[in-house]
Amino acid sequence: MENEHLIVHLHPKGAELRQLKGKKTGINYLWSGDPAWWGKTSPVLFPIVGTLRDNSYTYQGKTYSLPRHGFARDKRFMVEQSSPLAANFLLQDDSETREVYPFSFQFHVFYALIEDRLSVRYTVVNTGPDTLWFSVGAHPAFAVPPTGVADAGDYEDHYLQFDRSDALVRYKLSDGLISDETETITLDNHVLRLNAGLFSEDAIVLKGLPDQHIRLLGWKHMNGIEFSWQDFPFFGIWAPAGAPFVCLEPWCGIADSVHHDKELTRKEGIRSLGPGDYFAREWSVRCF
């Protein structure tokens, strides 16, 4: 996809965003996917977000297994639409998905270029006769510093600017599960300074974040992104310690708690859809 502002590369595997480059700035804003740190760039999370307790869940008396963040990120999507300004990908249930997730569904991932902004919409459709239980989320990784900026400084010369929050209540993880422990991270004038120590205990997991916009900026340059979302009740911020990127992750769903009884319908953040119903959420990123 391409317009006068941005060049976007997408891949049918996982309907994954692979490149987000400014035409005027020459900057690659997205992480490169170097497997030395993390081999993905912007995986789509479906039909769960995060880790299941014992990597399994129960539904109607049967036990099923799913990997962290579900299977969509590793499945090949059908390309339903492709043009310079928009692309639509589709994943449908099949015999393989029904072995681990006994539901009928259509999952659409729609990308659109709107001037200097990339918009991403997830739509889940219940195509079966029973209630569909699911979670969905985003996991884009942005390069820090952005690739192609001269004299951009180091990782610690960059920060996240929140539009509302003065402090973040972090729900700590224990082996990928939500523990009973929380930590309050105080922000300086809505600013979270990036440093490798932020993620020494895994992701920063947030609930009920009042913000709808986060800007990723640097002290030594004027380029960055504005990341926007609506109606995602959970949010994650993550990078492997020392990695040159940061993930901004709006979620409709969350990892199991350490106390969860593994019943899918009682999972925190799980969504339900009646037969024939659909669910849609959207996030976007503006590049400058």
> Does a structural domain hold residue 203?
yes
Q: Distance between CA 114 and CA 100 in Å, rounded?
A: 37
- pLDDT, position 5: 98
Residue 188, domain CATH: 2.70.98.10
> Does a structural domain hold residue 258?
yes
pLDDT of residue 180 exceeding 90: yes
Summarize the confidence of residues 148-171 as an average pLDDT: 96
Summarize the confidence of residues 169-191 as an average pLDDT: 97
If DSSP states are collapsed to H, E and C, what string results for the chain? CECCCEEEEEECECCEEEEEEECCCCCEEECCCCCCCCCCCCCEECCCCCCCHHHEEEECCEEEECCCCCCHHHCECEEEEECCCEEEEEEECCHHHHHHCCCCEEEEEEEEEECCEEEEEEEEEECCCCCEEECEEECCEEEEEEECCCCCCCHHHEEEEECCCCEEEEEEEECCEEEEEEEEEECECCEEECCHHHHECECEEEECCCCCEEEEEECCCCCCEEEEECCCCEEEEECCCCCCEEEEEEEECCCCECCCCCEHHHCCCCEEECCCCEEEEEEEEEEC
> Does a structural domain hold residue 175?
yes
Write out pLDDT tens, residues 263-274.
Answer: 999 999 999 999
Label residues 214-234 b or e (16+ Cβ within 10 Å = b). bbbbbeebebbbbbbbeebeb
> Does a structural domain hold residue 218?
yes
pLDDT band at 196 (very low <50, low <70, confident <90, very high): confident
pLDDT of residue 252 exceeding 90: yes
Contacts of 34 (CB under 8 A, 6+ apart): none
pLDDT of residue 165 exceeding 90: yes
Summarize the confidence of residues 132-159 as an average pLDDT: 97
> Does a structural domain hold residue 1?
no
Question: Which tokens is 78 given?
Answer: 């059908």
**Full domain range(s) for residue 168:** 6-287
Summarize the confidence of residues 156-166 as an average pLDDT: 97
> Does a structural domain hold residue 117?
yes
Structural domain count of the chain: 1
> Does a structural domain hold residue 247?
yes
pLDDT band at 137 (very low <50, low <70, confident <90, very high): very high
pTM: 0.97
pLDDT of residue 86 exceeding 90: yes
Alpha carbon separation from 143 to 147, 219, 263, 273, 280 (Å, rounded):
7, 15, 37, 36, 27
